[in-house]
Amino acid sequence: MAVIDCETESALAMTRDRYGRTVHAGAAAAARARRDKAAVEAYATHLAPHAEALIDAARLVLDRLPPARHLAGWRAVLDGPAASAAVIRQALDHPAAPGSPAERAQHALLWPHLIAWADHGSIASDLADQRDRRHHTNPLTGNEQQMWTERAQAAQRRGELDLIESWYAADGQPITLAYVVEDDDSTVIALRGDPGVPGWLVIGHFPNEYGAGKALPAPVPPGVLRQDVSRFNRPPSAPELSLQDLIRDVVEGKTAGDASNALLGAVQRSYTAGPMVRLQELLETSAQFAGALETAQGRQAAARLSALGRQIEFLTH
């Protein structure tokens, strides 16, 4: 689906002007029809024989996981692909005549169901994979764990504990990978707990990130910050001027009005918002993402991004 989406976006780009407005409607419609057909064929080949079994396996794993607040969310997310699989199966069992307008209409109606799998199918796969994962056992003795935790805490005080990635294990415990840097040498370690507050412990050290990923508890499948947003069904972008265009308008301008209009273009709001307004939106959205991490450093980043967003708003005014 990602390959199909990239090919379609390249084709659609040829139908738009410099501001993103569609100027060749027929060519755009043909590109979307090719996209819909390719997506149906890909699903029929790779997923149709396995979709229902995959959902069943994922739900079985959810039923066996220890109670945690995220489980209801994963069940809700799985309901979408499950319902879509039934709709797609019905259409595949009763296909329209090949090459007919009815087939194009049928494929277009299936597109929302196909992107439900493209967006959330990996969650079902990740859950099903956990069925075969072994439970992590702490490879460190009590003394070793204390020693590595003290080494990591000392590196953190020196500013030489470089965090790599964080996730939640199925038992709800946060796990973080990090590099401990000592005398120009670094070791990959895993922490349990929030590295931004006291109380975390080192639960293992590894030769590399790949080895850590194989040995540590599997992450809970990634959440969906906004379930109604899809990379495969984006609304048309609003036409906008780039900063380079605005700068060029000033450089090539002949009157003070040319310069003031360029500045106005940078700060105008509404549908055709300027770059300053878009920058503020980027900071605010990133702050929401940072806050959703639910860690001390995530909350700090969220607060800083929000403060920067307010400064941009002040500058815009």
Q: Please report the pLDDT score of residue 95 as a whole number.
A: 94
> What pLDDT, in 10s, does the model give residues 307-316?
999 999 999 9
For residues 148-152, average pLDDT: 95
Amino acid letter, residue 272: T
Q: Which has the minimum average pLDDT: 38-52, 67-81, 133-147?
A: 133-147
> What pLDDT, in 10s, does the model give residues 84-139?
999 999 999 999 999 999 999 999 999 999 999 998 888 888 888 776 655 555 57
Q: Please report the pLDDT score of residue 183 as a whole number.
A: 82
pLDDT of 180 > 70? The answer is yes
Distance CA 232, CA 149 (A): 44
Percent of the chain exceeding pLDDT 70 equals 94
CA distances to 26, 163, 166, 180, 195 from 294, in Å: 47, 15, 11, 23, 12
Percent of the chain exceeding pLDDT 90 equals 63
Task: Return all residues near 223 (Cβ < 8 A) that are at least 6 apart.
Answer: 70, 73, 292
pLDDT band at 274 (very low <50, low <70, confident <90, very high): very high
> What pLDDT, in 10s, does the model give residues 28-56?
999 999 999 999 999 999 999 999 999 99
pLDDT of 227 > 90? The answer is no
pLDDT of 221 > 80? The answer is no
Q: Please report the pLDDT score of residue 287 as a whole number.
A: 95
Is pTM beyond 0.75? Reply is: no
